[in-house]
Chains A and B, each alone.
Chain A
Amino acid sequence: MTEIRFTKDHEWVSLDGDIATIGITDHAQSALGDVVFVELPEPGRTVAEAEACAVVESVKAASDVYAPLAGTVTEHNAALADEPGLVNKEPEAGAWFFKLRLADPAAFEALLTADAYQAFVQSL
């Protein structure tokens, strides 16, 4: 079973081998409101940990999405260009943002577990 981890920037990360899939959490989409536009990193781009590499726009405001770990973008979810509202409907499934080949797959273990993320959200 694929394990899912989280960041304090409200991203979720699932790992398959050395490929991480990244999206924003249900809590994040709820806080943002209606998503009307998503800007995604192009495949081939190398990103550092915590680098802003995607943008999600709601009616009210633009928010950055950060690379949870260092790596190289292998793919992005083109479906979000046509249907940004998918982020509100399926934040932690169909509305994944991009995939990263991790520079150091072991670093995944340092991300928040589901329980730790829930506790973090409760503390906000």
Chain B
Amino acid sequence: MADHEPQTVPLDAWHRAHGARMVDFAGYLMPVQYDGIITEHLHCRSSAALFDVSHMGQATLAGPAAAAALERVVTGDIAGLKPGRQRYTLLMNEAGGIVDDLMVANLGHHLLLVLNAGRKYADVAHITTHLPAGVTLTPAFDRALLALQGPQAAAVLAELIPATTAMRFMDAIETTALGTDLTITRSGYTGEDGFEIGMPAAHAADVATALLADPRVKPAGLGARDSLRLEAGLPLYGNDIDESRTPIAANLGFAIGKRRKMTWDFLGGAAVRAAHDNGAAERLVGLRAEGRAPVRAGATLHDAAGAAAGQITSGTFAPSLDAPIALGYVRADLATDGTALTATLRGRAIALHVTPLPFVPHRYAR
């Protein structure tokens, strides 16, 4: 998509009217910030932040045994996903690499998939190749998706959409409210309690305006979304995970269903099983750096003896911690908490150490 003019999201004019600075992200003009990344980040941790994530791809999978069909290409237990529940899972390639990470919700009559913006077209092609006759994947990429995240998100939404009061973490519902049909999941990408709300594009501005009318809610851009997800230790596809990394190396073994670990009968399952049984050569770890200078993606890591140790895949300044944090892959023997490493930043060695994830505790409404 990079060769084309970036596309606009349904809320493009709404964002500009609310003071957003727009940037090209994954082929879409998206708000990177409104008031400032740190302000928006801290507001999400203390109250409620409204994000537009309409660049992400919503799609439905329907047909007899749709769940079993999807299991051919993902790691999760989808057949065991009860109606009204959502699950994080991994779309795999033949070599055991991660094609995308996605959310799957069982809405009863079909499954709802939420795909990463930069991967959604490739995902649909990949999944479709492996579907049996009678199971249909239907992109709904024109739908809008809003995320309301933060400790006040549930109280805000309860006043506008009463059906959400009965939801807990990873529940999924369809409901009619605010003048339109909505798909709502109690999930997100910030480590906070919160919801993602899907709707027809034509209703996005009305829904966003209704949410923002609550004084507890402020808009937040992709800049805060990135620092929030990194504090929460959540990987970003394309940075921290990609087709060259197995779920084991990425510390995403939890996304392989228990039943799936008995049979490993998903695309790439044999390779993932080998990594599971024998260990991966590198592991994704959390890293804290000394000082205040952020150590960013691409920086190489060295061990105490000066030998190559790995590479940073995401790094930022963590507003909640007032300190730099990073994710990176390190040699498996260096992946234990407390291991001292160095990164070279502008010709100088910066001391880092391996840190448990998440950096900031999750506060999901389990």
Contacts and interface: CB of A to CB of B under 8 A. Distances in A.
Interface of A: 33-34, 36-37, 39, 55, 57-62, 84
Classify chain B's interface size.
Answer: 20 to 34
B223 A59 contact: yes
Give the 9 A-B residue pairs with the shortest CB-CB distance, closest first.
Answer: A36-B317, A34-B38, A59-B37, A37-B292, A37-B293, A59-B317, A34-B36, A34-B37, A57-B294
B293 A57 contact: yes
SS class of chain B's interface: helix, strand, loop or mixed? Answer: mixed
Given A36-B38, A59-B37, 14 more contacts: A33-B36, A34-B38, A36-B317, A37-B291, A37-B294, A37-B317, A57-B293, A58-B37, A59-B316, A59-B317, A60-B316, A61-B296, A62-B294, A84-B292
A9 to B, nearest CB: 17
B63 interface: no
Contacts, number: 43
Interface of B: 32-33, 36-39, 41, 223, 226-227, 291-294, 296, 316-317, 319, 324, 346
A55 B319 CA distance: 19
Contacts of A37: 291-294, 317, 324
A80 to B, nearest CB: 11
Which of A58, A59, A61, A84 has the most CB atoms of chain B within a 10 A radius of its CB? A59
B346 A55 contact: yes
Nearest to B317: A36
27 contacts: A33-B33, A33-B36, A34-B36, A34-B38, A34-B39, A36-B38, A36-B292, A37-B292, A37-B293, A37-B294, A37-B324, A39-B293, A55-B346, A57-B317, A58-B37, A59-B37, A59-B38, A59-B223, A59-B227, A59-B316, A59-B317, A59-B319, A60-B37, A60-B223, A60-B316, A62-B296, A84-B292
Contacts of A84: 292
B245 to A, nearest CB: 24
A33 B223 contact: yes
A39 B346 contact: yes
A33 B20 CA distance: 12
Contacts of A55: 346
